[in-house]
Amino acid sequence: MKPFLLLVGILLSPITVLPLTHPTASRPVYYTDEQLLTLAIDKNIVPKNRDKAYFEQEIEKENSVTAWIVLSREKKIATIDTLKEMFLEKEGATISNPSEYYVDVVNTVLYKRIVEGGLDSLQGLKSLFLTTALMEGDYDNGKDKVELLKEHLGEKVFEDYKKDFPEKYQYLVEMEK
C-alpha cells in the first residue's frame, strides 16, 4: 500500500465519524497524549529520558511528528493554532474546528501508525493536519471542498476515499450545495 494511501486509511479508519459540524456526529474515542507518548517510548521511537536537547535535535532534523509526540498538550494546541494562522495568512483558508479536536485526531493517527508499524512514511505534521482539515471539510478558502480534497489526495487516493468512506464524501458534497 502506498504511504499516503496508508495515511488516509489510518486517518479515517480509527475515527470514522462525521465531522464535528455534521448533525449526526458522535464522539469518537481518541488516544491521549500520555497513551501516545507511552507507546512511542515502548516502541523505542522516543527515548524515555529525553531533554530539551532531544526535542531541539528532532526539530533540526525536521522530524515534526516525533517532536509532536513529546510536546505537552498546551504546546500541541499552540502548534495547531500556529498552523491555522499560517494557512489563513498564506492561503486565505480558515479552519474552524477547535485546535483541541485536531490534537486528538493527530494523536490518534500517530498512535495507530505506531501500532501498525511506525512513522517512517509520514510526511510531517503540517501535511497530516492539512489532510485532516480537508477531509473534515473544515479547510475553507472559498474553493470547492471536494475539488480541494481531490487535488490534495490525487485521483487514485481520492477515488479510494469516495469508495471507502461514502458518508464522509457525501457530507463534503452536501457542504458545497
In a 13 Å sphere around the CA of 33, the CA atoms on its Cβ side amount to 15
Show the DSSP H helices in 71-165 as ranges: 73-91, 99-115, 125-136, 145-153, 155-164
CB 80 within 8 A of CB 103: yes
- Between 148 and 21, name the one with better pLDDT: 148
Taking only the tens place, the pLDDT of each residue in 78-111 is 999 999 999 999 999 999 999 999 999 999 999 9
C-alpha 94/C-alpha 140 separation (Å) is 5
Q: Residue 31: pLDDT above 60? A: yes
> What mean pLDDT do residues 36-52 have?
89
